[in-house]
Amino acid sequence: MPDNPACEKEPLVLHICCAPDEAWVVHTLNEQFDLHCFFCNPNIAPETEYRLRCNEARNVAAHYSVPFYEDRYDPGSWEEAIAPAAGTPEGGERCRRCFDLRLERTARFCAEHNLPAFTTVMSISPHKRIGMLHTAGNAAAAANSVVYREFDFKKKDGFRNSIVLSRELGLYRQDYCGCRLSRAERNARIKQRSVLENQG
Ligand code: SF4
C-alpha cells in the first residue's frame, strides 16, 4: 500500500470559472483524480465581482481539500484579446477568443508546474459551445505540450445537479457569464422584461 493513495491518482488541473460549476465537477472527479483548481478569469468585471467569484471558488476547493491557485487578474489582457470581436454576441467570436485566452493560460500553468493534463469546468454550462471549448483546449494543450481532457460535464444531468449542490453549499450564483459585455446584455434583458411587464 502506498503511504498516500492520493499520489497514485492521475493529476488533473481544472480550469475554474465559478464556484457552482467547480463544486459539481470536484464532487464528481475527486475520487478518481488528483485535482488542482486553477482560477483564471481576466474576463470577469467588475473587480468586486471577480473577487466574490474567486473567494467562493477558493472556499469550495478548501471544502473538498483540493489545492487552489489563482492566476493574476489583468482585465486588460481580456480586453486586448477580444477587441476585434467586441461587437459580437455571447456564444460567438468574442467567446472563442475568451476561451482561447483562459485555456492557453491554464495549459501554460500545467507546463510550468509539471502537471500533465487539464480540462475546464465551463463545459457544464448549456450556454457554452462544447465544440468551441474543446477546440480552444486542444490548441492550448498542443502549444504547451500537455493534454486537454475532453469532458462534457453537462452530461448525466450535470447542470441541474450543479444547481442543486450549489444551493446545498449556499454558494453565490451569478446571473451573467462574467465579462462587462455579458453584464450589459443581462441588464438589457432585465430592462426589456420590465418594459414588457409594464405594457401587460
Ligand atoms: S460572454 Fe462569457 S465566454 Fe463570452 S466573452 Fe464574455 S465572459 Fe467570455
**What is the per-residue pLDDT across 116-151, written as a single tens digit (0 to 9) for each?**
999 999 999 999 999 999 999 999 999 999 999 999
Q: Is the CB of 181 under 6 A from ligand 1?
A: yes
Residue whose CA is at the smallest distance from ligand 1 atom 6: 179
C-alpha distance across the termini of the chain, in Å: 69
Write down the mean pLDDT value for the chain. Answer: 95
User: Which atom of ligand 1 is nearest the CA belonging to 94?
Assistant: 5
Dist. CA 190–CA 135, nearest whole Å: 33
| CB count in 10 Å sphere of residue 156 | 10
**Going by DSSP bridges, is the β-strand pair 117-120/10-16 parallel, antiparallel, or unpaired?**
parallel
Residue whose CA is at the smallest distance from ligand 1 atom 3: 95
In this prediction, residue 200 has a pLDDT band, given cuts at 50, 70 and 90, of low
User: pLDDT tens digits, residue range 158-183?
Assistant: 999 999 999 999 999 999 999 999 99
**Going by DSSP bridges, is the β-strand pair 147-148/117-120 parallel, antiparallel, or unpaired?**
parallel
Dist. CA 182–CA 91, nearest whole Å: 10
Q: Is the CB of 94 under 6 A from ligand 1?
A: yes
Dist. CA 119–CA 133, nearest whole Å: 10
Residue 7: the pLDDT is 64
Please tell me the distance between residue 199's alpha carbon and the centre of ligand 1 in angstroms: 32
Residue 10: the pLDDT is 97
Please tell me the distance between residue 40's alpha carbon and the centre of ligand 1 in angstroms: 13
Dist. CA 70–CA 95, nearest whole Å: 21
- 16, 53, 79, 98: residue to mutate for ligand 1 pocket, most atoms within 8 A of CB: 98
Q: Is the CB of 177 under 6 A from ligand 1?
A: yes
Q: Which of 55, 56, 68, 66 is nearest to 20 (CA)?
A: 56
Q: Is the CB of 125 under 6 A from ligand 1?
A: no
3-state secondary structure of 153: coil
User: pLDDT tens digits, residue range 51-82?
Assistant: 999 999 999 999 999 999 999 999 999 999 99
Render 34-74 in DSSP notation, one character per residue: EEEEEE--TT--SHHHHHHHHHHHHHHHHHTT--EEE----
Which DSSP category does 178 fall into? S
Question: Domains in the chain, please, with CATH?
Answer: 10-174 (3.40.50.620)
Which DSSP category does 146 fall into? -
